[in-house]
Structure 1
Amino acid sequence: MIALRLRQLSLLLFSFLICGIVFFQMFRRTTGKIPTQYLSLLVLAASLSLVFWALAAHFLPYASQVIQACVVLLTGIGTAMIARIDYENDTSVALRQLVFVCIAIVLCCVLIVTLRDYRLLRRFSYVSMVVGLALLLSPMVPGLGVEENGSPIWIRVPGGTVQPSEFAKLFLAFFFAAYLFDHRDQLAVGGKKVLKLQLPRVKDLGPIIIVWFASMGVLVIQHDLGTSLMFFAMFVAMLYVATGRVSWIIIGFLAFAVGAVLASMIFSHVGARVEAWLHPFDQTLYDRQYGGSYQIVTGLFGLASGGLFGTGLGQGHPNLTPYANSDYIYASIGEELGLMGCFGVLLLYIIIIASGFITAMKIKDGFGKLLASGLVFTMAFQVFTVVGGITLVIPLTGLTLPFMAAGGSSLIANYLLATLLIIISNAANKPVPETVSDTFQHEALAVLRDHELKEREAERAASTARAVKGGAQ
């Protein structure tokens, strides 16, 4: 166990080393030295990460520790790039980001100490639903909601704003996992077959219809395509895990596709994003003030200028792209670290996602399986939509890249998500104790083996006696 802990600690220290090199190179090429305020916050964040590792090693001895190392590395690279953009824009977003990193690690430490058994969350399934919906709809409250970039998805708090949908995804994941675990048998019952596809019964379509209307409501009212798509995709993915029926995936995809097409035709803000995606180099769209393609095109040019190995940290111009430190942080990384840097970032995400899916497959508890798969799919889907939007695979959704993009709400929520995966992985990797029935079974088998051995020895003795008697005669 000690050797395992040392190997896990070495991964974390290796992440610290790479982050230190990244910050050193970036500041050396921009300011010439590491500012004192950055150095103190970096040391504090590293110290808190070590405390997190120690708590996880003590309270969660069987948990996967590779997740923390990857999260630290992604956070370090993202914050260094934000600090590099701050140098060009004369801002201090990175300092605020490091403060949020420290707050996120402290909250994760509290979560590890207080929530050792994730199954406790199942008791508060409907409470989680109410909290999740309240957070999701809170920007609609007059005087509380704040509209930024055409989307009223923020709420005003002392000292700034918060995006409540980032935390709503956690509470709704708790509710979805508990609900689907309790009703998986009814939802798994098939109805009619169409082209070898087992369709669900009509009366079982209620949950997916309700979630579809909620997602369309977020899309229509809050103008937030990314959050709407993320919630609906998370529910459909967890529904598939609970029932094992591909028909739910097909129905969910078709339902959202129909809703998105109708929304793009009826609502201008959705149609503008689709139009900018289809014709990004159109001069009219490029010059449009709102809903144009200027951000998309400059991001693509930044990726192209990076080439294979990038321009080098501190030697590009990522600040030319609007929101280069948040929505387009991946394009900024591609410009200064190149295609290899982008692949490295994606590899870190793949390691986290693979670890989460392995946890979901290994754990025996149905609620834990659904919760782990829902959380890790949410992260995977978020990474796909962000990278896909920047590279013109899909339209821009407005989601942020987990752990890397500037923003305290996204950072804290994704840190808590990763911590929940670590907690669940501890239960998945824990050795199964030998039950009483297993003990009795082993003892019975031992008795049978002893009895067979005694019978064989008696037969040998009898045959030997007969042979001796026959020889004497």
Structure 2
Amino acid sequence: MIQTRLRQISLLLFAMAISFIAFFQMFERTAGTFPQQYAILLGVAAAMFLVLWGLTIRFQPYASQSIMPCVLMLNAIGTMMIARIDQQSGATVGTKQLLWLIVALVFAGAIIVGMRDYRILRRFSYVSMVVGLLLLLSPMVPGLGIDINGASVWIRVPGGTIQPAEFAKLFLAFFFAAYLFDHRDQLAVGGKKVLGLQLPRIKDMGPIIIIWGVSMGVLVMQHDLGTSLMFFAMFVAMLYVSTGRKSWIVIGLIAFAAGAVLAASIFSHVGSRVDAWLNPFSDEQYNKHFGGSWQIVTGIFGLASGGIIGTGIGQGYPNLTTYGNSDFIYTSIGEEIGLTGLLAVLVIYLIIIASGFITAMKIKDGFGKLLASGLVFTMAFQVFTVVGGVTLVIPLTGMTLPYMAAGGSSLIANYILAALLVVISNSANKPEPPADLSETFQYEALAALRDHELQKERDTR
């Protein structure tokens, strides 16, 4: 057991060491010294990570120990790049990000300590649905929501803004997991076969039609393609896990594609992003005042200048790309650590995703299986949409890269997501008590009692 714990803590210490080296190298090249405020905040964050590890060992002893070191590594790389861009722009986003990190670690620690059994979330499924929808629709409340760059996905709070959709995805994942677990038998029943696919019954199409309508409503009212795509994809993926029917995926893809094409033809902001994706290097799109491809092309040029091994930490120009510390942080990182570094980042994400899916496969509880797969798929899909958007694989969605991009809402929500995966993995890895021992003991006791009675009868005779 001691050797296992040493191996586990070594992963966390290794991630901390790599993170410190990255920060040290960046500050030496850009500022010539290590700023005191960063030294203090990084020290506090490192101490809190160690405390979090200790709490995990104490309260979730069988949990996966590969998730949090990977989260730390991604968070450190992203915060390092945010602080590096601050050195050129004179902003203080990096220190704010570290403060948000401390808050996120508090939330994660509270979940690991307080949530001994994740199944308690199933009791509040419809409450989670109401809370999720209220959070999702809150930016449309007059006086509360705020429009930034044509998207109404933020709300005002004292001291800044938050993006409620980041938290809504967690509550809606709780509801989807509970709902699909309770109705999995009805949804698994198929209707007619068409082109080799077992189509669902018409009366079972209600859930996907409702979610499709909500997703399209978010797209229309909030001008947010990324959020609507994320929620719809999360539900369809969990629906497939619940029923095992490929027909739900096909129907989901067709439904969203139809809605997106309709939205692109009706609403200018969606059409502009599609045009910028299809013709990014045309003069018309590049020089367009609003909704053009200038930002995408600048990010692509940054990736190209990084090449295979990058320009070196602190030696590129990531500040030239608009929102290089948030929406386009992937291209900023690629410029300074190159294609090799970007592949390493994707591998770290893959380890977290693989850990989540392994947990979903190992756990026997149906609700836990759906919740774990839904949470990890949401994160995986978010990574795909962000990376695909900035590399011209798909149209730009404006979503943030989990654990790396600047923003307190995204950071806190994704740390809560990671903590939930840790809690579920603890249940999945917990060794089952030998159920047969109690039965064997009972049989042996009955046999001994019977032998004693027989012996007693013989003695009486």
- Conserved 8 A contact 2:177-2:374: yes
Residue in structure 2 matched with residue 455 of structure 1 by the alignment: none
Residue in structure 2 matched with residue 453 of structure 1 by the alignment: none
- Conserved 8 A contact 2:89-2:319: yes
Following the alignment from structure 1 to structure 2, what is the Cα–Cα distance between the partners of residues 37 and 268? Answer: 44
Structure 1 segments of 4+ aligned residues over 2 angstroms from their partners: 437-448
Residue in structure 1 matched with residue 414 of structure 2 by the alignment: 414
Q: Secondary structure at the match of 1:81?
A: helix
Q: Does residue 186 in structure 1 map to residue 152 in structure 2? A: no
Residue in structure 2 matched with residue 458 of structure 1 by the alignment: none
**1:103: Cα distance to partner?**
0.4
**1:128: Cα distance to partner?**
0.2
Following the alignment from structure 2 to structure 1, what is the Cα–Cα distance between the partners of residues 130 and 438? Answer: 45
Residue in structure 1 matched with residue 118 of structure 2 by the alignment: 118
Q: Give 1:362's aligned amino acid.
A: K
Residue in structure 2 matched with residue 298 of structure 1 by the alignment: 298
**Corresponding residue pairs, total:** 447
Q: Does residue 100 in structure 1 map to residue 86 in structure 2? A: no
Following the alignment from structure 2 to structure 1, what is the Cα–Cα distance between the partners of residues 366 and 306? Answer: 45
CA RMSD of aligned residues (A): 1.4
Q: Give 2:207's aligned amino acid.
A: P
1:351-408: per-residue Cα shift (whole Å, max 9, x none)?
Answer: 0000000000000000000000000000000000000011110000111100000000
Q: Does residue 369 in structure 1 map to residue 356 in structure 2? A: no
Q: Give 1:129's aligned amino acid.
A: M
Q: Secondary structure at the match of 1:192?
A: strand
- Conserved 8 A contact 2:372-2:421: yes
Following the alignment from structure 1 to structure 2, what is the Cα–Cα distance between the partners of residues 276 and 447? Answer: 78
**1:438: Cα distance to partner?**
5.8
TM alignment of 1:38-53, pairs within 5 A: 38-53=38-53
Q: Does residue 269 in structure 1 map to residue 269 in structure 2? A: yes
1:413-438: per-residue Cα shift (whole Å, max 9, x none)?
Answer: 00000110000000000001122x56
Following the alignment from structure 1 to structure 2, what is the Cα–Cα distance between the partners of residues 173 and 282? Answer: 41
**1:444: Cα distance to partner?**
6.4
Following the alignment from structure 2 to structure 1, what is the Cα–Cα distance between the partners of residues 444 and 332? Answer: 65
1:168-221: per-residue Cα shift (whole Å, max 9, x none)?
Answer: 000000000000000000000010011221100000000000000000000000
Gaps of 5+ in 2: 448-461
Following the alignment from structure 1 to structure 2, what is the Cα–Cα distance between the partners of residues 290 and 44? Answer: 42
Residue in structure 2 matched with residue 168 of structure 1 by the alignment: 168
**1:441: Cα distance to partner?**
5.7
- Conserved 8 A contact 2:101-2:411: yes
Provide closer, same or farther for how the CA distance between residues 447 and 116 of structure 1 changes in structure 2, counting only shifts above 3 A.
closer
Q: Give 1:233's aligned amino acid.
A: A
Q: Give 1:93's aligned amino acid.
A: V
Following the alignment from structure 1 to structure 2, what is the Cα–Cα distance between the partners of residues 329 and 441? Answer: 60
> With structure 2 as the length reference, what TM-score do the two structures score?
0.95
**1:114: Cα distance to partner?**
1.2
Q: Give 1:84's aligned amino acid.
A: R
TM alignment of 1:242-253, pairs within 5 A: 242-253=242-253
- Conserved 8 A contact 2:112-2:422: no
Residue in structure 1 matched with residue 200 of structure 2 by the alignment: 200
**1:234: Cα distance to partner?**
0.1
TM alignment of 1:356-395, pairs within 5 A: 356-395=356-395
Q: Secondary structure at the match of 1:336?
A: helix
Following the alignment from structure 2 to structure 1, what is the Cα–Cα distance between the partners of residues 446 and 196? Answer: 52
Following the alignment from structure 1 to structure 2, what is the Cα–Cα distance between the partners of residues 438 and 389? Answer: 56
Q: Secondary structure at the match of 2:61?
A: coil
Following the alignment from structure 2 to structure 1, what is the Cα–Cα distance between the partners of residues 393 and 136? Answer: 27
**1:113: Cα distance to partner?**
1.3
Residue in structure 1 matched with residue 153 of structure 2 by the alignment: 153
Following the alignment from structure 2 to structure 1, what is the Cα–Cα distance between the partners of residues 197 and 114? Answer: 45
Following the alignment from structure 2 to structure 1, what is the Cα–Cα distance between the partners of residues 116 and 324? Answer: 38
TM alignment of 1:117-136, pairs within 5 A: 117-136=117-136
**1:281: Cα distance to partner?**
0.4
Q: Secondary structure at the match of 2:324?
A: coil
Residue in structure 2 matched with residue 284 of structure 1 by the alignment: 284
**1:446: Cα distance to partner?**
13
Following the alignment from structure 1 to structure 2, what is the Cα–Cα distance between the partners of residues 75 and 210? Answer: 36
Q: Secondary structure at the match of 2:183?
A: helix
Following the alignment from structure 2 to structure 1, what is the Cα–Cα distance between the partners of residues 439 and 375? Answer: 39
Following the alignment from structure 2 to structure 1, what is the Cα–Cα distance between the partners of residues 380 and 446? Answer: 52
Residue in structure 2 matched with residue 440 of structure 1 by the alignment: 439
1:65-120: per-residue Cα shift (whole Å, max 9, x none)?
Answer: 11000000000010000000001111010000000000000111111111111000
Q: Secondary structure at the match of 1:198?
A: strand
Following the alignment from structure 2 to structure 1, what is the Cα–Cα distance between the partners of residues 152 and 193? Answer: 43
Following the alignment from structure 2 to structure 1, what is the Cα–Cα distance between the partners of residues 18 and 323? Answer: 26
| Structure having the higher Rg | 1
Q: Secondary structure at the match of 1:367?
A: helix
Residue in structure 1 matched with residue 24 of structure 2 by the alignment: 24
1:114-164: per-residue Cα shift (whole Å, max 9, x none)?
Answer: 111100000000000000000000001110001111111100000000000
Q: Give 1:48's aligned amino acid.
A: M
Q: Give 1:185's aligned amino acid.
A: D
**1:440: Cα distance to partner?**
2.8
Q: Secondary structure at the match of 1:312?
A: coil
Residue in structure 1 matched with residue 339 of structure 2 by the alignment: 339
Following the alignment from structure 1 to structure 2, what is the Cα–Cα distance between the partners of residues 151 and 239? Answer: 29
Residue in structure 1 matched with residue 55 of structure 2 by the alignment: 55
Q: Does residue 209 in structure 1 map to residue 216 in structure 2? A: no
**1:320: Cα distance to partner?**
0.5
Q: Secondary structure at the match of 2:404?
A: coil
Following the alignment from structure 1 to structure 2, what is the Cα–Cα distance between the partners of residues 104 and 196? Answer: 47
Gaps of 5+ in 1: 449-473
Q: Secondary structure at the match of 1:315?
A: coil
**1:5: Cα distance to partner?**
1.2
1:309-359: per-residue Cα shift (whole Å, max 9, x none)?
Answer: 000011000111100000000000100000001001000000000000000
Provide closer, same or farther for how the CA distance between residues 44 and 237 of structure 1 changes in structure 2, counting only shifts above 3 A.
same
Provide closer, same or farther for how the CA distance between residues 238 and 438 of structure 1 changes in structure 2, counting only shifts above 3 A.
farther
**1:442: Cα distance to partner?**
8.5
Q: Secondary structure at the match of 1:322?
A: coil
Provide closer, same or farther for how the CA distance between residues 445 and 282 of structure 1 changes in structure 2, counting only shifts above 3 A.
farther
Following the alignment from structure 2 to structure 1, what is the Cα–Cα distance between the partners of residues 314 and 148? Answer: 29
**1:439: Cα distance to partner?**
4.2
Q: Secondary structure at the match of 1:399?
A: coil
**1:447: Cα distance to partner?**
11
Following the alignment from structure 1 to structure 2, what is the Cα–Cα distance between the partners of residues 189 and 280? Answer: 45
